[in-house]
Amino acid sequence: MQGKSKTLRGMTWKHDRGLAPLLATAKHFCKEHSELTIEWEARSLQEFGEGTVQVLADNYDLVIIDHPYMGQVAQKQCFLPLDEHFTPVQLHELERDSVGASYRSYYFEGHQWALPVDAAAQVAGYRADLLEANGFTVPQTWEEVLSLAKFRRGFVSPALSPLDSLMCFFTVCANLGEPPFHGSEQVVGTEIGQQALERLRILSEHSFEGALAANPIAIWERMSSSDDIAYCPLAFGYSNYARLGYRSKLVSFAPIPSSGRGPVGATLGGAGVAVSASCRHLDLTLEYVSWITGKECQRTLYVESGGQPASNAAWLDAHANKLTNSYFAATLPVLQNAWLRPRFSGFEYFQIKALTIVGRFLGAQISSRETLNQLDELYRKALTNEESRRKRAAT
C-alpha cells in the first residue's frame, strides 16, 4: 500500500473543545484525501493567549489563533490574507453565518487573516441542583450576584486568573455602559472603572481560595467535579461541561448578569483558523479550512466531537442544543452583544503587561485609582509605540 505523501501540521489549544473537533475533522477529511495526513498538536491555554505568531507560522501550516493577535499578524504578514484565497461569495456566507462579531474579529487593516471556527464570550455558569437545594434562582442582575456571593465563601466564584481578571474588568465596564478603549487615551473613565473594580473586589473576597489563579477551564472543572461553586458570573464559556456524561456533575449556562442594559458587553473570545504564509499543500489546506468553517460541518461533526462552533446555524440547531443542555440557545444573546477587544499590533503588549495590574488590585496591593492610572499609562505607551511603528512603516 502506498504511503501518504503529504502532511500538514496544525496547532490549537489543549482542551477537548480546542483539540477534539480538529482531530475528528482531520480524520474524516484525510479519509476523503488518502494522500494527506493532518497532524494537530496542542499548547496550554496560557500559551494560547501569550504566544508568538511568527514562531507559530514558521512551524505550522494551520494555527488556531486568538483575534487580538490580528494586528501582529497584519504587521508581520506571516499568515495568508484569506480574502485573497477565497471568493467574495464564500466569505460573505461565512460572515453572514458567524456568531456575533466572530468573523469581523479576524478582519484587520483590509484583510481577513483567519476564519472563525470557534465562538465564545464570557458567560455565566451555574449548578442548577445546588442553587435549588439552597433556595436560590439564577441571578439576573449584579446586585443579585453580589448578594448571592455572601451566602458562603466559594458559592459564587468567577475565573480570576490574572488574564481573566483583566477580561472580567473589561466586561464589567462594558456591561455598565462604557466599553473600554472607546476613543480616548484612557482605558475607561474613572467612575465606571472604579465601579467595575469594586464589583470584582467583592467577588474575589467571597470566591474560593484559589480563584485568583483560576482560568475558565479550572472553574468549569471544579464546578463539574465538586459542589464547591454553585454560580460563576463571568468566565469564557465551554459547552463541553453542559454535556451529559462529560463530567460527573452537569453545569448549566446563562447570560451574564445585567447592569440594567441586559447581557451586554461580555468580552468576545473564540478562535479562528489561520493559514501560514509558508503553508505546504495550499489547495488541500484551503479546502479543509473551507469545510471545517462551513455550517454543515460546524453543526454536525464539529459540535458532535466536542467543538464549540462559530456558525450561527449551529448555535440555533436543535441537535447541537440537545447535545449541550441548550448551551448555545441560552448564551447566544451574550455572543450577539459581546464586546470586541482592540487588535492593533501593540495591544497584545498592553494585554500581557496589564494582566498583573488588576490582579495586584484584587490582592490589595494597590488602590483602584492607582490601578486605573497604571492601566492608562500602559495604554498610552502601547498607542505611542503603535504610532511610531506606523510612521516607520510609512517611510
- What value does the mean pLDDT take over residues 313-328? 98
pLDDT above 90 covers a percentage of the chain that reads 89
Q: Is 50 exceeded by the pLDDT of residue 294?
A: yes
Q: Report the SS3 class of residue 128.
A: helix
Give the model's pLDDT for residue 52: 79
Amino acid identity of 5?
S
- Helix/strand/coil percent split, the chain, to 5: 50, 15, 35
pLDDT in tens, 67-81: 999 999 999 999 999
DSSP of 138-161, one letter per residue? ---BHHHHHHHHTSSTTSB----S
What is the rounded distance in angstroms from the CA atom of residue 211 to the CA atom of residue 221?
13
pLDDT above 60 for 85: yes
According to DSSP, the β-strands at 62-65 and 36-43 are unpaired
According to DSSP, the β-strands at 115-118 and 111-112 are unpaired
Is-above-0.85 flag for pTM?
A: yes
List of domains in the chain: 6-120+269-324 (3.40.190.10), 122-267+343-395 (3.40.190.10)
**Res. 394: pLDDT tops 80:** no
Hey, what amino acid is at 258? S
Maximum pairwise Cα distance, the chain: 70
Give the per-residue pLDDT at 37.
97
Kindly report, residue by residue over 127-145, the tens digit of the pLDDT.
Answer: 999 999 999 999 999 999 9
Beta-strand (E) ranges in 4-44?
A: 6-13, 36-43
Structure-model confidence comparison of residues 222 and 53, the more confident one: 222
What pLDDT score does 1 carry? 40
- Residue 3 has a pLDDT of 58
pLDDT band at 265 (very low <50, low <70, confident <90, very high): very high
Burial (CB < 10 A; 0-12, 13-18, 19+), residue 46, is middle
- Is the pLDDT reported for residue 41 higher than 90? yes
What is the secondary structure of 58-93 as a DSSP string? Answer: HH-SEEEE-GGGHHHHHHH--B--GGGTS-HHHHHH
Question: Quick one: CA dihedral 349, 188, 159, 15, positive or negative?
Answer: negative
- 153-192 pLDDT, tens digit per residue, is 999 999 999 999 999 999 999 999 999 998 788 999 999 9
Nearest Cα residue to 168 out of 200, 124, 136: 200
pLDDT for 387 beyond 90: no
Mean pLDDT for 282-292 is 98
Cα 302 to Cα 22: distance, rounded to the nearest angstrom: 8
Q: Are 266 and 171 in contact (CB under 8 A)?
A: yes
Q: How far, in Å, CA of 393 to CA of 395, rounded? A: 6
Q: Which of the 8 DSSP states describes residue 62?
A: E
What gap in Å lies between CA 183 and CA 214, rounded to an integer? 32
Which has the higher per-residue pLDDT, 291 or 43? 291
H or E stretch at 204: helix 190-206
Nearest to 156 by CA among 120, 200, 121, 215: 200
Kindly tell me if the per-residue pLDDT of 38 is higher than 60: yes
Answer whether residue 48 shows pLDDT above 70.
Answer: no
User: What's the rounded mean pLDDT across residues 292-315?
Assistant: 98
Q: What's the chain's average pLDDT?
A: 95
Write the CA distances from 195 to 102, 136, 156, 305, integer angstroms. 28, 25, 19, 41
Distance CA 215, CA 203 (A): 15
Residue 221 has pLDDT above 50, yes or no: yes
Tell whether the model's pLDDT for residue 2 goes beyond 60: no
Predicted pLDDT at 51:
59
| Spatial distance between the Cα atoms of 336 and 123, rounded to a whole number of angstroms | 12
pLDDT at 251 (0 to 100): 98
